Structure 1
Amino acid sequence: MRATAVRRTALAACAVSLTLLATACGGSSDTGTGTGTDAGSGKDGQGGATSGSSSAPKASGAKALSAAELEAASLKQGDVEGHKIAAAGPDDEAPADGLKADKAACLPVVHAMYGAAEAGSKATSKRKVITDPKAGTKKSLEDMTDGEAEGALKAAFDLTSTLVALNAYDGTAGQDTFAGLKKAAAECAGGFTATVAGAPQKIVSITEEKVTGGDEAAAWTLVQDDEGAKAPFKLVALRKEGTVATFFSFNLAAGGDGGAKFTVPTEVVAAQAKKLG
């Protein structure tokens, strides 16, 4: 490839990838700390961590956090080093009535992917978390060699975007929601087709990952097939008392062709678990 062509492609890729990451979970690109009432305070203690395969005791007395408490416990800019955090706005919402699955048992997975609350949620808060581009060469694209320009192209796509949703439940509803998601992920491991706002999305597999945090946590890799092109996504669920947090992540460079190494966003999960106490 000619050097000029590589440089122009890299420049375009940088612009496109950053735009996609900023809008992947919706159209808002603000980097503010969130919306809603600022009353209440986040909890600073670190909760006991358990793996997704463990069985937590029934938390029958859980009291749902208020909207203000949930907002205060949500991530804000500066909570996760090397990441930009923004409140998810109206354009980021995927209404539950627009989320469907060809297998009814798989619907909780679709809801978790898009941060939709299950029945009984008393309050919801959502954030978009995007990794900052890695510090690289200070050269302009015009001064780069072909190899340097190609490296810039790859780096432009090697960013992870995560939609974090918190939903507060009373009594055992939070634990039931978490258990329902785990059951759905297991039953739908062989794949299903989701429909989001009328558009079909074919999930061909769900495999369990390891994660810890809160009273109980679980994680999975979901692989989507779009006309033969496969892309992995990471889905994490974490429960602390009556609050269930879900994390849905993707990386533009992590394709089926062995692109960027794409792992569960453990630093984001840990930061959110800490704020939930």
Structure 2
Amino acid sequence: MRATVVRRTALAACAVSLTLLATACGGSSDSDAEGGKGGRAGNAAEGGSSASKTSAKALSAAELETASLKQGDVAGHKVAKAGPDDEVPADGIKVDKEACLPLAHAMYGVAQEGSVATTKRKVITEPKAGGKKSLKDMTEGEAEDALTAAFDLTSTFVALNSYDGTAGPDAFAALKKAAADCAGGFTATVAGEPTKIASVTEEKVTGGDESAAWTVTSQDDGNQAPFKLAALREEGTVATFFAFNLAAAGGGAKFTVPTEVVAAQAKKLG
């Protein structure tokens, strides 16, 4: 097998050891449309929150649970509740630049100050059906393509946080400001393990009263791996989505913002 395939696999395996992705594929399923509200969507991505500072009543824990994604809400994806092993306490996240803390919190699904209730989900694309050929019958190129396809799975960690009053818009604005202030990179330390973020670049997404998205590129020993971070606000609820694709870590697959997941969540909140 080509050396590039080996390197790609090794990089993907390393990336999977990150706190988020070590648990994103596990867990049990919950018991048992793309777009969002296009007329209002995406205004936050243009710089500066244009949302009105109207006071909102926070969703209760029960209401937020009802509004959270469940198995069957996102076609082609498995949805599971996050468990205790997925939790990262706010005081367990440190950054070398204080301005970047809201961004680091969003990456690990941590609520901003003032959150009334929180729910968390792990959403992963279901594997595509394999071909008819066995690995021993494949050419070198076919084997490489098959390996890339096997790793072409996107894991998304979704956190919903409800806020009272203007705390929701304030939390969303703080995240946007942190992404702009930390575009050149920063270092986040979680449970004593540092992760270097090389850059934060803006992406496009729609949904909710306002929304925004970014590519967050991590760097380790000269190797870079892209993550996708998206956020949307619907009244007093802020949803964040942090996604990673194994194949994209080695440059073997196209990786975009998980719009199907964002749209499904926006629909349940709307």
Query: Normalized against structure 2, the TM-score is what?
Result: 0.87
| Equivalent residue number for residue 190 of structure 2 | 196
Question: 1: CA distance between counterparts of 2:27 and 2:132?
Answer: 26
TM-fit CA distance, 1:258: 3.4
| Equivalent residue number for residue 81 of structure 1 | 75
TM-fit CA distance, 1:26: 2.2
> In the alignment, residue 32 of structure 1 is paired with which amino acid?
S
| Equivalent residue number for residue 173 of structure 2 | 179
After superposition, give the CA deviation of every residue in 1:188-216 in whole Å (9 maximum; x if it has no partner).
11111111111111111111111110000
After superposition, give the CA deviation of every residue in 1:131-187 in whole Å (9 maximum; x if it has no partner).
111223033334434333222211111111000000010000000000000011111
| Equivalent residue number for residue 104 of structure 1 | 98
Question: 2: CA distance between counterparts of 1:225 and 1:20?
Answer: 14
1:271 correspondence with 2:264: yes
Question: 2: CA distance between counterparts of 1:95 and 1:146?
Answer: 45
Question: 1: CA distance between counterparts of 2:64 and 2:152?
Answer: 31
TM-fit CA distance, 1:28: 7.1
| Equivalent residue number for residue 24 of structure 1 | 21
Note the 1:1-277 alignment, pairs <5 A: 1=1, 24=21, 26=23, 29-33=26-30, 47=37, 49-51=40-42, 52=44, 53=46, 55-60=50-55, 62-255=56-249, 258-277=251-270
RMSD between aligned alpha carbons?
A: 2.8
| Contact residue 94 and residue 188 of structure 2 kept, 8 A | yes
C-alpha distance 20-158 of structure 1, shift in aligned 2 (>3 A): farther
Question: 1: CA distance between counterparts of 2:264 and 2:111?
Answer: 21
Which deviates more from structure 2 when the two are superposed, residues 150-159 or residues 97-106?
A: 150-159
TM-fit CA distance, 1:115: 0.2
> In the alignment, residue 199 of structure 2 is paired with which amino acid?
S
DSSP 3-state at the match of 2:224: strand
Question: 2: CA distance between counterparts of 1:30 and 1:187?
Answer: 35
TM-fit CA distance, 1:20: 7.0
Question: 1: CA distance between counterparts of 2:144 and 2:60?
Answer: 49
Question: 1: CA distance between counterparts of 2:28 and 2:141?
Answer: 33
> In the alignment, residue 88 of structure 2 is paired with which amino acid?
A
Question: Any unmatched runs of 5+ in structure 2?
Answer: none
DSSP 3-state at the match of 1:248: strand
C-alpha distance 217-25 of structure 1, shift in aligned 2 (>3 A): farther
Question: 2: CA distance between counterparts of 1:207 and 1:30?
Answer: 31
Question: Any unmatched runs of 5+ in structure 1?
Answer: 3-8, 39-45
> In the alignment, residue 54 of structure 2 is paired with which amino acid?
A
> In the alignment, residue 260 of structure 2 is paired with which amino acid?
E
Which deviates more from structure 2 when the two are superposed, residues 144-153 or residues 69-78?
A: 144-153
> In the alignment, residue 117 of structure 1 is paired with which amino acid?
A
| Contact residue 29 and residue 78 of structure 2 kept, 8 A | no
C-alpha distance 84-168 of structure 1, shift in aligned 2 (>3 A): same
Which consecutive aligned stretches of 4+ in structure 1 deviate over 4 angstroms post-superposition?
none
| Contact residue 28 and residue 89 of structure 1 kept, 8 A | no
Question: 1: CA distance between counterparts of 2:197 and 2:68?
Answer: 29
After superposition, give the CA deviation of every residue in 1:86-142 in whole Å (9 maximum; x if it has no partner).
110001111111101001010000000000011111110000010111223033334
> In the alignment, residue 75 of structure 1 is paired with which amino acid?
L
| Contact residue 211 and residue 233 of structure 2 kept, 8 A | yes
Question: 1: CA distance between counterparts of 2:132 and 2:191?
Answer: 42
- Number of residue-to-residue matches in the alignment: 258
